[in-house]
Amino acid sequence: MDLQTLLCRKLEELDGKARFAEDWWEHHSGGGGRTCVIQEGNVFEKGAVNTSAISTKLTPLLAERMKVSPQEIFATGVSLILHPSSPMIPTVHANFRYLELQDGSFWFGGGADLTPYYLFEEDAHHFHAVWKTVCEQYNSGSYERFKEACDEYFFLKHRLEARGIGGIFFDYLKGDFEKVFSFVRSCAESFLKAYLPIVERRFHEPWGEREKNWQLFRRGRYVEFNLIYDRGTLFGLETQGRTESILLSLPPLVRWGYNIKPERGSKEEQLIKVLRSPRNWMEL
């Protein structure tokens, strides 16, 4: 919750107009959370920074998905999603969580990923460089593993394209509790360093109706992933979590068009090529 408060304050400073509205809620089986939402700002069309800590019983379906027996589970974490107004500023998502079962087993999960609408290679390099530094301080070679896992996870199989240009993703991270927790905490504390410089670089980039329409179209892909594949969304809905908080990840405006294809040689086509063939952004 301290991290949530810090993130909200820094993002408000960056936006310069809108403020986060705070909403406390309780889970029917125990625990609850705090949802903080920002809307219609100078930078952010919609965004949220959420914390939750709940105790509940796994349904047979969820237990099967998680490959454990049905039992009590404690789950806590912080998550954020930011949808900027400008199509030149990428959407960003991050989530860091801890789960503990009644049988005493536990694991951490999380990561951060970037979803641009127009590709700026220096932004992609910067975002990945921050996460590589954090990962390598934890375990040599972990960035490559977590980057590959991110590319695999945030992939729309029915579209044969990635949701964005990735970042890091890890789940079922176990081992020495203090070491793993220290790594996850370092990741969460590095988010602002990874994202804020990108926003500051792109805030004054010009854009018009064409660029906005492309952003709204690409947001449709974001919605498709979150409603079909996202484990956090499925976990929240299956455990009867607070629907308003779970679906805050969805953008405020979106459009679907029929068979939209970017012009050959356009900036839009450049993005699609990367989404269909993930790159190593540390080789720039």
Residue ranges of domains in the chain? 2-283
At 284, the pLDDT band (50, 70, 90 cuts) reads low
How far apart CA 83 and CA 90 sit, in angstroms, is 8
| Fold adopted by 2-283 | oxygen-dependent coproporphyrinogen oxidase (3.40.1500)
Across the range 110-114, mean pLDDT stands at 97
- d(Cα 136, Cα 144) in Å, to the nearest integer? 9
Q: Report the pLDDT averaged over residues 249-266.
A: 93
Tell me how far apart the alpha carbons of residues 235 and 260 are, in angstroms, rounded to a whole number.
Answer: 32
Average pLDDT for 107-122 = 97
- 139: three-class secondary structure by DSSP: coil
Per the listing, tokens 């930011």 go with: 82
Residues annotated catalytic, as ranges: 93
Q: CA–CA distance from 214 to each of 41, 211, 221, 259, 266 (Å)? A: 21, 5, 11, 13, 12
In the structure, what pLDDT confidence band is assigned to residue 248 with cuts at 50, 70 and 90? Answer: confident
Q: What is the pLDDT of residue 236?
A: 81
pLDDT of residue 32 exceeding 80: yes
Q: What is the pLDDT of residues 210-230, one digit of tens each?
A: 999 999 999 999 999 999 998
Among 23-27, 81-85, 134-138, 198-202, the least confident range: 23-27
User: What confidence tens digit (pLDDT) does each residue in 36-63 have?
Assistant: 999 999 999 999 999 999 998 888 887 8
Q: Percentage of residues in the chain with pLDDT exceeding 90?
A: 81
- Cα of first residue to Cα of last residue in the chain, in angstroms, is 37
> What pTM value is reported for the model?
0.93
| Residue 97 pLDDT | 95
